[in-house]
Amino acid sequence: MKEIDIKRIEKAVLEILEAVRENPQREGLKETPARVAHMYAELLEGMRHEPSEHLSSIFHEKYDEIVLLRDIPFYSICEHHLMPFIGKAHLAYLPDGKVLGVSKLARIVDAFARRLQVQERLTDQIADFLMVNLKPQGVAVVLEASHSCMTIRGIKKPGSMMVTSALRGIFKKDSRSRSEVLTLMHVDRQ
């Protein structure tokens, strides 16, 4: 994957500062172009990595009940306004002979989230990746996030939360399985 062009981002940020009629040479702004460039490199590091890097811990197990990791903190950058959206991911799968190391689930979320994204696509990418690589009986992914592009600008609705889901396999086809996994994702939550 291509490296991020830090110097080019610095020039673009300098141009933005000048376009909003700021003095990029004043004390507080002198290093801002470099800071912003390094921030984007960090926030978008998923663009330089493949999620498959996190498949090293697949174990063969006869476990045949739901595996759920919930409340995984994540952040991403909305591709429409280049503003962050921040939330929690809930991932579940019904194994068919293979389980993934628990920390790898969180790493897979980050690998997809740390890119220019929309929440709907992010949800689908995680679900599809787990279905293809683990080949489970089913996958359920629910993301809840607050989008700064609508909480601090535009309509300005702080506290609003967008929820997206992606169901695959048995969780999409069987209403009892779907109900069970969604209940587990939200048990003890208020």
Q: Give tens-digit pLDDT for 80-124.
A: 999 999 999 999 999 999 999 999 999 999 999 999 999 999 999
Instruction: Report CA-CA distances (Å) from 142 to 45, 120, 134.
Output: 23, 10, 18
Residue 190: pLDDT band (50, 70, 90) is low
Residue 13, H or E segment: helix 6-19
Q: Give the pLDDT confidence of 163-187 residue by residue, as tens digits.
A: 999 999 999 999 999 999 999 999 8
pTM: 0.94
In this predicted model, which residue has the larger pLDDT, 49 or 19? 19
* Assigned CATH topology for domain 57-186: GTP Cyclohydrolase I, domain 2 (3.30.1130)
Residue 51: pLDDT band (50, 70, 90) is very high
Strands 162-169 and 84-94: unpaired
Instruction: Report CA-CA distances (Å) from 94 to 51, 116, 123, 177, 180.
Output: 20, 29, 17, 10, 11
- The region of weakest confidence among 39-53, 67-81, 119-133, 137-151 is 39-53
Whether the CA torsion 168, 163, 190, 102 is positive or negative: it is: positive
Flag whether pLDDT at 162 surpasses 80: yes
* Assigned CATH topology for domain 6-43: GTP Cyclohydrolase I; Chain A, domain 1 (1.10.286)
Q: What proportions of the chain, in percent to the nearest 5, are helix, strand and coil?
A: 45, 25, 30
Same fold, 6-43 and 57-186: no
The phi, psi pair for 31, rounded to 5°, reads -100, 5
What pLDDT is attached to residue 188? Answer: 81
Do residues 61 and 95 make contact, with C-beta atoms less than 8 angstroms apart? yes
Distance (Å, whole) CA 111 – CA 103: 12
Active site residues: 78-81, 119, 147, 149
How is the chain split into domains, by residue range? Answer: 6-43, 57-186
What is the pLDDT averaged over residues 19-48? Answer: 96
- Round the average pLDDT of the chain to a whole number and report it: 95
